[in-house]
Structure 1
Amino acid sequence: MERIRFFLKHTSRVRFVRYLLFLFLGLMLFSVLYWHVKPRQYELRLFDVAKETIRSPITIEDKEATERLKEEAANKVADIYTLKKEYAENRVDLISSLFTAIVDIQEQAKRENEVETDMVGALQERLPPEWFSYLSANEWEALLHAAPEDIKTAKEAAVTAVHLIMRERITQEELDRAREKAADELKYAMLSPSLKEIVIKLTKQAVIPNVVYDRAATEEKRRQVMDEVKPVKILQGQVIVEEGQFITNEIYHQLQLAGLLQNDHSFHPLIGLSMLVLLLLSPLVYYFGRERTNTDLFLFTTIFTITMLIMELVRLLPQGDTVSTGYLVPIAFGTMLVRILLGERIAIMTAILCAVCGSLMFNEEIGANGTVQVSLAIYLLTSGLAGSFFLHQQLRKAKIWQAGLFVAFINMVLILAMILLKNGHYSLSEIGMFLLMALASGIFSAILTIGLLPMLEAAFGILSSIRLIELSNPNHPLLRKILIEAPGTYHHSIMVANLAEAACEAIGANGLLARVACYYHDIGKTKRPRYFIENQISGNPHDHLSPQLSKNIILAHVADGVAILKKHRMPKEIIDIAEQHHGTTLLKYFYHKALEQTGFVLEEEFRYPGPKPQTKEAAIVSIADSVEAAVRSLSSPSQEKIEKIVRAIIADRLQDNQLNECDITLKELEIVARSFCETLNGVFHSRIEYPEIRKEKVKHA
């Protein structure tokens, strides 16, 4: 233990040691958590027989299967055709133009008395070339020589038929049927059979498909259908292959996607865990890098390592079918130890850190939903915070037991709440097992905290609040020794403790440490109690001693006290205050007495050996010690006298440079002075004189 404390003392501010501790924390977190986040992999080949049932550890999309479904859905979409209404108008205009041209040529031939061949040639110039393939030469001649009335009738019948048929959708497949319908419309036209046949042929040719393939609309429809296809996913917990089943191509592909094959070397878990570890360490680096020493970081690392070790041991316990052993983890002991030894802020960070780690370590347990088991994370976080918050006040061992029971109660309530929220159908035995683990978690947390606390305090030389409260017990052997052997000193120590504690609390120093240190600061007086005025009942032995001998006796009480405290293995902080509470002040009474007797003495011979106060607590105890003795010597203390003495003593300490080696400020000294005055005024207040006392005074007068 001494070697550990020696090492910590000499490395408390060494940056290299701090970096090593952070590196150790990061590597420990990574190594412990990696085996819990790394997917289990199997050595399987195509057409092997599965030796066990394999479930997917994650939810992942099978993109190849999704693409196949999208292609199948797109192929089922029929081509989209758009109706072109302008086609009907164009064909009507075309057939109308044909008969108009025939009428014009007939009239022109009549005026010019041209031969028939000239009429056919003129028509060829005015019509598209393909139209002449629809009729024979004789049919064209017959049409050109038809009577104007027949041409008019033919035109009206053909235009009407084309317009009527082309109003409907006509695809390439429906073209023949549409042309037959157009022929049917002309059956009852008032034309000669030969001319009617010619008109029917022309009308049929005038009817064409009026719908065209719409590529944009077809592709848009296919995109819509493909977007509606739901992704094919392998769900977490889904059975990929059952025991005894052949590994088909599809199953092999799914195993590969889930990263369950040994030939898959994915670095994603490594990268993700590294990022998580850095994120978890960031608040610790910030906190310990600014506000704490390496000793505090070493202590936190020790507690956190023990917590992780216990979590790992609990994880190795046999698992039930529906009950996770993660609820048995005594997570609160870590946060309670940190709360007692390092403070509340870092205890909250510890609870969060342990909850995240626990949820990852037990992610293979029953009911895990993803990499992090959310319900267990909530349970561990609440349990850890409950232990820390309950120890907010009055830190003592009995309080730790109460905190353990409180944690157990919170655990049980939380588990019942989560069971009801999940609407799970658990048997009474399963619910009882959950509650039993919650109870055990709280009790084990208290046991571990009480058991590990003394070991950590001894190893790291830590003076915790619990230890201070134990030392303040009036039944402590040293306090009993002061009370019995030096009762005046005991009363003086109690008064100084009241002054020092109130003043320390006022400036934010450790009031409890100051109080307990005051109880023991004059323990050295028990060696020669009669030589100190507060213990003298009749006569002063210094009246018969030389100033030098009296000086030696008075000055020796500091060294005697330090020796007694060290012999009883008292905390270093209390020994330091006992050693520093007089600093290097001058023993003025015996110095001036010796000066009167001899005429010349060295002032250094009548000063305490020191050292001067090194902390705020030591400085306040030093001032309070002198203030209490000075005020107690007053015959009728008043508020004005008390304040005058308090400020005079503080000014004397400043002028004598007794406060140069501690970090107390003038502003804080002003607050200390006001605190001393308030406390002393409350003690030395004026009292009502009872009637019996007044009568006795009159009688004796």
Structure 2
Amino acid sequence: MTTKKNRETAGKSPFLRLLKPAELRRWPTAAVLSAFAVSVIVVCGGTGYTSRANADLREFEVGKVAERDVTAEQMIAYVDEDATRLRLEAQERLVPAVFKYSMGITQEITDSYRRFAALSQRLFDEGVSAEAYKLAVQSAYPGAFRPDTLDALFRDPARGRLLDFGYDVLESILESGVFAIPQIGLEQYNPDTVELLHTTGPRVERERVSYDKVITRGTADSRIVRIISSGSYPSSFAAIAPELLKPFITENVFFSSEDTEQRLAETRAQVEPVVKEIKRGEQVIRKGFIITKDDMVRLRALDQSLAQADPGRIIGRIIVLTFVFALFCFLMSSRIIGRKLTAQEVYFLAILGASYVIGAVFINGVSFNREYFMPSVLFPTALMVMLPAILINTRAAVAAATVLPLAAFVSGSFDGAAFTFALISGFSAAYTLQGAERRMDLVKAGFIIAGTNCIGMFAILLIQHASVQDTAFMLLWAALNGIISGMIVLGFLPLLENALNTATTFRLIELSDLNSPILKRLLTMAPGTYSHSVMVANLAESACQDIGANALLARVGAYYHDIGKMEQADYFIENQTAYNKHEDIAPRLSATVIRSHVKIGVEKARNMGLPKEVVDIIGQHHGNSVISWFYNEALKRESQVNVEDFTYPGSPPRSRESAVVMLADVVEAAVRTLKKPSTSRLEKFIQELIMSKFEQGQLSESELTFRDLETIKKAFVRVLAGHYHSRIDYPKVLKENSSHYETSAPQGPRG
């Protein structure tokens, strides 16, 4: 007895079974996680895998001739310490010395002047003599004023106004600030300006003051003269003002070392280091040239970059790769690509993705000994997109064309040019293979991809201002990338088709050849079944074309759906002539023979290595319907009959193609019994057959819609009307049995 496990593995090559142990078949998720882990390890650990020996400092010394080239394998950014130090010194030199304005001292000075003015005004009002006035002032302010200044003030008729003018000028001087400039210690600060801090409560105002506008006690006289000359003051006031105000000109702005140091610290914090770049492929050391100090600085930077494991970069790469693989899983889900992936396809895609990442990291690490070279031109993006385009479907190819450039972006140290080229190459491959039906189309696709690669690469090189020689060299590699991808796919496709057991367009076209040995054998052993299968294929193909399903798959499935009848062809009515073998055996045995052709057909298909999609059509083309003719005969002979003995062993169709083949099968067989097959009668008859299958629940898992069923009916009518157009109309006889004596018993409600 054949077990389920044996049926699943029957017909598959030992090589295929070796690649897919039972443990992996049960756990396709493990393959995806393994691919992710491998990619993370390779990308994070292999960025600088070319070895630090490339930048061994012991071989090089300033002033000596370099014996070999040293090329940067990746873009490196390093801090130029000397340039950074010079920048810092310059920025520090531009920091102004900070002075603080003293409101307290300013208030004391103005209060002192007010007291002097009040004293003078009181003496003026008392009518004292000039001598008495001078003596009183000298008593209050000993040695502060010159006698001639006080005498001039006393004798001026407008002496009260002169005191007011003096207050205004003094207030202006104090508001600008009288600076106490240290004799030493300011040489390290800005030579042109100082910074003045005004503190008013919680508010601090900063003001830049140039040195030529700074007022000191030594320059106050000239500032007083300038203020008076710019205003409408009397000449008598101008004559005495400098000496009158001199006792009150005192420093109210002082140097603040604490604030100045804080200003320096802020400036140091804002100074950005001088970062220089060594581009990927740039020669750090040139063979035959004398090594300079700058060369050694660049060489040390290269050495340190290779020696350091940057945790931030590693974590960042892991995070980005996690998102890339999450996007990969989402884009490969059934809702995106239109169907559920098999375990084999999951393993294939996981290996594909991990191989691409490993290859990208390896290519990025290879030294090409050219001043300009883009390693991304060697990435097999087109190849890796063409394979799922053929082996799965176009949607899977578009998903790969989206994810692989992101993987190239991460593995290429986030190189935008690599991402762009991979994106162009990938989508070109996905688009070019649409509708490919011959293997030579793969070669043509390779040349089309080569042309697209060249256009994309040329645009990138224009942006990067590459030389003519470099442009020509890179375009050559871009073209070879596409051509070689097409050749590789052409060579490896048969092996992959067999390994994945997938229904590619090319394989289906080969299987649709009516000269294949199995179909020739079917023609010889069961000519009626062969004719029936060909007609079913025509019906199914036409209907699938109209509803947008895979017409080629439906045709091939229809060709092979009844191969299980070959060994017992005489038990099926389409192969019988005058004698019916079922007349001599019990209905239960007849049903067993009829039912067995599904199971035998599935086993034959698996032994032949037919694609799973075709095997599913063979196993589902009767669903789990009841062979009602023999079931009814058994009921006439026995009181207790188990309906399971008269039920097909398959399951209802789970794809649109399988459901269409089921409908085409029952329609083609039943229409043979129809007399006078006019178009209107065909339409009504086919409608009844389709709705019968629908009511029995045979179409509930097929994803067909009512609109699809209407379209299928019209396609069947169109094909059959053309086939039966020359027949003579006969009275209508609607029979319910088919070539397999099959109708379906009503079923209970489906869950």
Pairwise same-fold verdict (TM > 0.5):
yes
SS of residue paired to 2:278: coil
In structure 2, do the counterparts of structure 1 residues 564 and 513 end up closer, same or farther at CA, with 3 Å as the change threshold? same
In structure 2, do the counterparts of structure 1 residues 559 and 206 end up closer, same or farther at CA, with 3 Å as the change threshold? closer
Tell me the amino acid that sits aligned with residue 352 of structure 2.
I
Aligned-partner Cα distance in 1 for 2:560–2:724: 35
1:233 maps to 274
Matches within 5 A, 1:160-309: 171-174=216-219, 203=243, 206=246, 209=249, 213=253, 231-237=272-278, 244=291, 260=305, 262=307, 266-287=310-331, 292=341, 294-309=343-358
Q: 2:698 aligned to 647, 659, 666, which one?
A: 659
- Structure 1, residues 147-201: CA drift from partner, whole Å, max 9, x if none? xx9952699799699899989986323357789999xxxxxxxxxxxxxxxx989
1:343 maps to 393
Residue 624 of structure 1 and its aligned partner are, at CA, apart by 2.2
Aligned partners of 1:241 and 1:251 also within 8 Å: no
Aligned-partner Cα distance in 1 for 2:43–2:494: 30
Aligned-partner Cα distance in 2 for 1:618–1:463: 14
Residue 470 of structure 1 and its aligned partner are, at CA, apart by 2.5
Aligned partners of 2:363 and 2:375 also within 8 Å: yes
Tell me the amino acid that sits aligned with residue 372 of structure 1.
F
Matches within 5 A, 1:213-612: 213=253, 231-237=272-278, 244=291, 260=305, 262=307, 266-287=310-331, 292=341, 294-311=343-360, 314-315=363-364, 316=366, 318-361=368-411, 363=412, 371-427=413-469, 430-482=470-522, 488-501=528-541, 510-526=550-566, 534=574, 539-542=577-580, 546=584, 558=598, 561-562=601-602, 564-582=604-622, 607=646, 610-612=649-651
Residue 437 of structure 1 and its aligned partner are, at CA, apart by 1.0
In structure 2, do the counterparts of structure 1 residues 624 and 671 end up closer, same or farther at CA, with 3 Å as the change threshold? farther
Question: Mind listing any 5+ residue stretches in structure 1 that lack a counterpart?
Answer: 110-115, 183-198, 364-370, 694-701
In structure 2, do the counterparts of structure 1 residues 640 and 213 end up closer, same or farther at CA, with 3 Å as the change threshold? same
Residue 37 of structure 1 and its aligned partner are, at CA, apart by 4.2
Residue 576 of structure 1 and its aligned partner are, at CA, apart by 4.2
Residue 510 of structure 1 and its aligned partner are, at CA, apart by 4.9
SS of residue paired to 1:236: strand
SS of residue paired to 1:424: coil
Aligned length: 633
Aligned partners of 1:504 and 1:514 also within 8 Å: yes
- Structure 1, residues 225-263: CA drift from partner, whole Å, max 9, x if none? 969997442122289997845699x969x968995384x
2:44 maps to 34
Aligned partners of 1:412 and 1:435 also within 8 Å: yes
Q: Which moved more, 1:585-594 or 1:66-75?
A: 585-594
- Structure 1, residues 448-474: CA drift from partner, whole Å, max 9, x if none? 223333333333333333322321234
Residue 70 of structure 1 and its aligned partner are, at CA, apart by 2.5
1:677 maps to 713
Tell me the amino acid that sits aligned with residue 270 of structure 1.
I
Residue 488 of structure 1 and its aligned partner are, at CA, apart by 4.6
Residue 33 of structure 1 and its aligned partner are, at CA, apart by 1.4
Aligned-partner Cα distance in 1 for 2:654–2:526: 28
SS of residue paired to 1:462: coil
- Structure 1, residues 466-522: CA drift from partner, whole Å, max 9, x if none? 322321234433334445665554442232123334555677765443321101122
Aligned-partner Cα distance in 2 for 1:544–1:613: 27
Residue 441 of structure 1 and its aligned partner are, at CA, apart by 0.7
- Structure 1, residues 378-422: CA drift from partner, whole Å, max 9, x if none? 111110111112223345423322322221110011122223333
Aligned-partner Cα distance in 1 for 2:524–2:437: 29
Aligned-partner Cα distance in 2 for 1:228–1:492: 87
Tell me the amino acid that sits aligned with residue 23 of structure 1.
L
Tell me the amino acid that sits aligned with residue 173 of structure 1.
G
1:186 maps to none
Q: Which moved more, 1:405-414 or 1:33-42?
A: 33-42
1:615 maps to 654
SS of residue paired to 1:58: strand
- Structure 1, residues 590-632: CA drift from partner, whole Å, max 9, x if none? 7878999x89997879947633445344444233212111113
Aligned partners of 1:162 and 1:206 also within 8 Å: no
In structure 2, do the counterparts of structure 1 residues 381 and 36 end up closer, same or farther at CA, with 3 Å as the change threshold? farther
Aligned-partner Cα distance in 1 for 2:326–2:464: 34
Aligned-partner Cα distance in 2 for 1:687–1:423: 67
% identical aligned pairs: 24
Aligned-partner Cα distance in 2 for 1:344–1:435: 27
Residue 213 of structure 1 and its aligned partner are, at CA, apart by 3.6
1:367 maps to none
Residue 25 of structure 1 and its aligned partner are, at CA, apart by 2.2
Aligned-partner Cα distance in 1 for 2:109–2:625: 122
Aligned partners of 2:331 and 2:399 also within 8 Å: no
Greater gyration radius = 1
SS of residue paired to 1:458: helix
Residue 31 of structure 1 and its aligned partner are, at CA, apart by 1.8
Aligned partners of 1:18 and 1:294 also within 8 Å: yes
Aligned partners of 2:536 and 2:558 also within 8 Å: yes
1:190 maps to none
The Cα RMSD (Å) is 5.7
- Structure 1, residues 554-584: CA drift from partner, whole Å, max 9, x if none? 6665566456545533234423433443456
Aligned-partner Cα distance in 2 for 1:418–1:32: 27
Aligned partners of 2:327 and 2:403 also within 8 Å: no
Tell me the amino acid that sits aligned with residue 611 of structure 1.
G
Aligned-partner Cα distance in 2 for 1:200–1:589: 138
Aligned-partner Cα distance in 2 for 1:386–1:179: 82
Aligned-partner Cα distance in 2 for 1:268–1:514: 54
SS of residue paired to 2:675: coil
Tell me the amino acid that sits aligned with residue 216 of structure 2.
T
Aligned-partner Cα distance in 2 for 1:241–1:593: 92
Aligned-partner Cα distance in 1 for 2:560–2:405: 42
Q: Which moved more, 1:401-410 or 1:579-588?
A: 579-588
Residue 143 of structure 1 and its aligned partner are, at CA, apart by 11
Aligned partners of 1:60 and 1:258 also within 8 Å: no
In structure 2, do the counterparts of structure 1 residues 12 and 519 end up closer, same or farther at CA, with 3 Å as the change threshold? farther
Residue 332 of structure 1 and its aligned partner are, at CA, apart by 0.8
In structure 2, do the counterparts of structure 1 residues 172 and 351 end up closer, same or farther at CA, with 3 Å as the change threshold? same
Question: Mind listing any 5+ residue stretches in structure 2 that lack a counterpart?
Answer: 1-12, 174-212, 228-238, 335-339, 729-751
1:73 maps to 94
Aligned-partner Cα distance in 2 for 1:181–1:621: 108
Aligned-partner Cα distance in 2 for 1:544–1:241: 90
Q: 1:152 aligned to 126, 139, 155, which one?
A: 155
2:744 maps to none
Aligned partners of 1:642 and 1:677 also within 8 Å: no
TM-score by length of 1: 0.70
Aligned-partner Cα distance in 2 for 1:510–1:672: 14
Aligned-partner Cα distance in 1 for 2:216–2:158: 25
In structure 2, do the counterparts of structure 1 residues 173 and 352 end up closer, same or farther at CA, with 3 Å as the change threshold? farther
Aligned partners of 2:113 and 2:248 also within 8 Å: no
Aligned-partner Cα distance in 2 for 1:336–1:462: 15
In structure 2, do the counterparts of structure 1 residues 490 and 215 end up closer, same or farther at CA, with 3 Å as the change threshold? farther
2:204 maps to none
In structure 2, do the counterparts of structure 1 residues 501 and 59 end up closer, same or farther at CA, with 3 Å as the change threshold? farther
1:696 maps to none
